[in-house]
A = this chain, B = another copy of it.
Amino acid sequence: MEVTRTLARFLVSAGPEDVPAPVRKECVRTLLNWVGVAVGGSRHPAVENAVAAISPFAGPPQARLLGRTERWDILNAALVNGISSHVFDFDDTHLKTVIHPSGPVVSPVLALAEYLPVSGREFLHAVTLGIETACRAGNAVYPDHYEAGWHITGTAGSIGAAAAAGILLRLDELQMTWALGLAASQPVGLRESFGSMNKSFNPGRAGQNGLTAALLASRNFTSSRRMLEAKRGWGRTISTRHDFLEITGELGRRWEISLNTYKPFACGIVIHPAIDACIQLRKEHGLTADRIDRIVLKVHPLVLELTGKKEPDEGLEGKFSVYHAAAVAIVSGKAGEKEFGDRAVRDPAVVALRGRVTALADPFLKEDQVEATVVLRDGSELRKFVEHAVGSVERPMTDGDLEAKFADLVEGILDSRRTRDLVEACWGVESLSRAATLAETAVPR
């Protein structure tokens, strides 16, 4: 079976017109979500440290670091933008494989779009096929590969990045085969990195690796023609499971990017149902903390196992506290990155309410379900059962939800006019004559 070559052939021959409109629309939503988290994360210490480390070595000012003032060569810009977009752990998720596909794919392609003349339509097409490639590569080796210890976003991601960059570089079929091979040679990221800055490095480096691979292939730097499927190639070396039909099956007919999801809340996905319920109750009943006697949450057992921290003291700990999450959702009606910052976690109003939140494990509930009961000081009870948390495939974030998330993320970095222009540029990406407009608008004035 020719896996690498078959994939390459599809990548170099499919055009934007071969991608159904709903698939392209999902990619536009992915783009909007990615730009928001990349701008939002651009001032995080991980990004500051990476910029300080790399800046003496960066090349010509070809591409912007989103949310910042620096302009670097496209390879290093791809690295930093990939770090920014993942550092809040608030980006997109292909739930079947837990790949966060946009970080490694959009980062290099946007940088390349600043360097080449590329239309918005071509740009979106490259992103679509890059994400499709990353998710399909992931499907081929999940779950064994992830279980073994690989951060699959960085391993499958570099292949997706090469595919996307290779499309913009107009590689021919053989060159694309080499690009995929060179990218597959550079998996990046181990799960032991979770909890350190290294985690956000992984998608950034994967994007940079894929871009490097495509650039090399464009100059006929050769690789194997069978890197994905060969005996001592990618799939068999990095995973005990490898089903290559996941890569080549129904190309152009089955679209993995349609399954992409976006986090509404800036914390581990298991607390999302509880937050969802609290925000709904707050909105429906105009709830305020002072009216509440106590909150009782029935949750999937995993919630207590992973996020049972009762008295978080730092923002990062707040992300692992279902108590903080429920309290801050009631107090502020939101659960974005700010609501999991040090300040929010120490806010007296939140701390007071958090002490009145109880969580009970209920083995009959599914992971994206919750039953929340709010007992008011007047003795009355309000109840909310969430069947599927917002942000799941079944109850996706609406375009409006994505815009609100975006606005929250970029606040304080972009002014309101820039924010409006940027949102508009994302939604209208396919009609941009120059995709570079996206990057030009995603930096402070």
Q: Which A residues are closer than 8 A to B by beta carbons?
A: 46, 49-50, 52-54, 56-60, 62, 73-76, 148-150, 154, 178, 181-182, 184-193, 195-198, 201-202, 205, 212, 215-216, 218-224, 226-227, 230-234, 236-237
Given A60-B57, A220-B49, A233-B149: A227 in contact with B193 (beta carbons within 8 A)? yes
Taking CB atoms, residues of chain B closer than 8 Å to A205 are 185-186, 212
Closest to A237 in B: B149
Contact at A49–B231, with CB atoms within 8 Å?
no
In the complex, besides A54-B216, A181-B198, A191-B232, 10 extra interface pairs with C-beta distance below 8 angstroms are: A53-B219, A58-B73, A148-B232, A148-B236, A149-B232, A149-B233, A154-B185, A186-B186, A190-B233, A196-B224
Q: Which B residues touch A186, using CB under 8 A?
A: 186, 188, 205
Q: Which residues of B contact A75 (CB under 8 A)?
A: 57
Q: Which residues of B contact A58 (CB under 8 A)?
A: 59, 73
Known: A186-B205, A198-B182, A222-B197. A227 touches B192 (CB 8 A): yes
Name the residue on B nearest A79 (C-beta): B212
Separation of A54 and B76 alpha carbons in the complex (Å) = 12
Q: Are B224 and A149 in contact (CB under 8 A)?
A: no
User: A195 vs B232: C-alpha distance in the bound complex, in angstroms?
Assistant: 13
Q: Which residue of chain B is the closest to A221 with respect to CB atoms?
A: B49
CA distance A239 to B255 in the complex (A): 33
> In angstroms, how far is the closest chain B Cβ from the Cβ of A60?
7
Contact A196 B223 (CB under 8 A): yes
28 contacts between A and B (CB under 8 A): A49-B219, A50-B216, A50-B219, A50-B221, A52-B219, A56-B59, A57-B73, A57-B215, A59-B73, A59-B76, A148-B236, A149-B233, A182-B198, A185-B198, A185-B201, A185-B202, A190-B232, A190-B233, A191-B237, A192-B224, A195-B224, A196-B222, A196-B223, A197-B221, A198-B221, A198-B222, A198-B227, A201-B221
In the assembled complex, which residues on chain B have CB atoms less than 8 Å from the CB atom of A185? 154, 188-190, 193, 198, 201-202, 205
Minimum C-beta distance from A290 to chain B (A): 40
The reply to whether A216 and B149 form a contact with Cβ atoms under 8 Å apart is: no
Contact B53 A216 (CB under 8 A): yes
- Which residues of chain B are near A230, meaning CB under 8 Å? 192
A212 and B76 alpha carbons, distance in the complex (Å): 11
Partner of A53, one of B74, B187, B221, B223: B221
Which B residues are CB-close (under 8 A) to A222?
A: 46, 196-198
- Choose among B56, B60, B149, B187 the residue that contacts A231 (Cβ–Cβ < 8 A): B149
Chain B contacts of A237 at CB under 8 A?
A: 148-150, 190-191
Min CB–CB distance A284 → chain B (angstroms): 42
Shortest beta-carbon distance from A134 to chain B in Å: 18
Give CA–CA (A196, B185) in the complex, Å: 12
Is A192 a contact partner of B60 (Cβ separation < 8 A)? no
Best-buried of A184, A190, A215, A231 by chain B (most CB within 10 Å): A190
Chain B residues in 8 Å Cβ range of A231: 149, 192
Q: Considering the complex, give the chain B residue whose CB is closest to the CB of A57.
A: B73
CB A369 to nearest CB in B, in angstroms, measures 28
Max chain B C-beta neighbours (<10 A), residue from A181, A184, A195, A232: A232
Residues of chain B lying within 8 A (CB to CB) of residue A221: 46, 49-50, 53, 197-198, 201
A234 to chain B, nearest CB (A): 6
Report how far A192 CA is from B53 CA in the complex, Å: 33
CA–CA, A202 and B209, complex, Å: 12
Residues of B within 8 A of A233 (CB): 149, 190, 192
| Nearest 8 A/B pairs, CB to CB | A149-B237, A149-B232, A191-B232, A192-B233, A198-B223, A53-B219, A57-B73, A192-B230
CA distance A172 to B196 in the complex (A): 18
Chain B positions within 8 Å of A56 at CB level = 59-60
Bound: A383/B50 CA distance, A: 63
Q: Find out whether the CB atom of B215 lies under 8 angstroms from the CB atom of A197.
A: no
CA distance A49 to B230 in the complex (A): 25
